[in-house]
Structure 1
Amino acid sequence: MKLLRVLLLVPRNILIALVLVYRKIISPLYGDVCRYYPSCSTYGLHSLQRLGVLRAIPLTGWRVLRCNPWSAGGVDEVVSGPNWISISQLGFTSPASSEIKR
């Protein structure tokens, strides 16, 4: 069962790695241009970490489409996800041990 959970998290962690690379290399070139809090890349990262690939991609896509010069912006937090996920200090996900409660 734990192996299945690890395998289910592989696509999520691949996309998390891509977002982290974007945030380290490309995002600093643009500076603070996002009209929302948290920034669109942070929103995408949190949605991937908490909700998974299938829910994060449409949510993040909609968020990026709304982040434009004609938008008022504002605060837009990601909802909580399942309790069986643990997020490491580097930002990657793994199955939570039975002792960890969120």
Structure 2
Amino acid sequence: MISASEQLIGVYRRYAPVRLREACVYEPSCSEYALRAVQKHGAVRGWFMALRRITRCRWPNGGIDEP
């Protein structure tokens, strides 16, 4: 069963502008990281981890970052 968090991430992936989605230089992308974090750690901790990652994002940098 797909949770509300997973559905919200799916909506972002479907409707966010391509330039915004492709701007993520991390591997996995920020939306993929959020999805994995929510699936692995649950909604509260997963969203906290995803938001923490987004706030530390420096657009020209990147690298591998697993939840």
Q: Which residue identity lines up with residue 13 of structure 1 in the other structure?
A: S
Q: What is the match of residue 40 of structure 1?
A: 30
User: Where do 5+ consecutive residues of structure 1 fail to align?
Assistant: 1-8, 79-102
Deviations 1:17-63 (A, max 9, x none): 01001001115352411121100011001111111012111110111
Q: What is the match of residue 75 of structure 1?
A: 64
User: Where do 5+ consecutive residues of structure 2 fail to align?
Assistant: none
Taking structure 1 as the reference length, what is the TM-score of the superposition? 0.57
1:63 aligned to 2:53? yes
Q: Which residue identity lines up with residue 41 of structure 1 in the other structure?
A: S
RMSD: 2.0
Between the two structures, name the one with larger relative contact order (CA 8 Å, sep ≥ 6).
2
1:16 aligned to 2:15? no
Taking structure 2 as the reference length, what is the TM-score of the superposition? 0.83
Deviation at 1:69, TM superposition (A): 2.8
Asked which structure has the greater CA Rg, the reply is 1
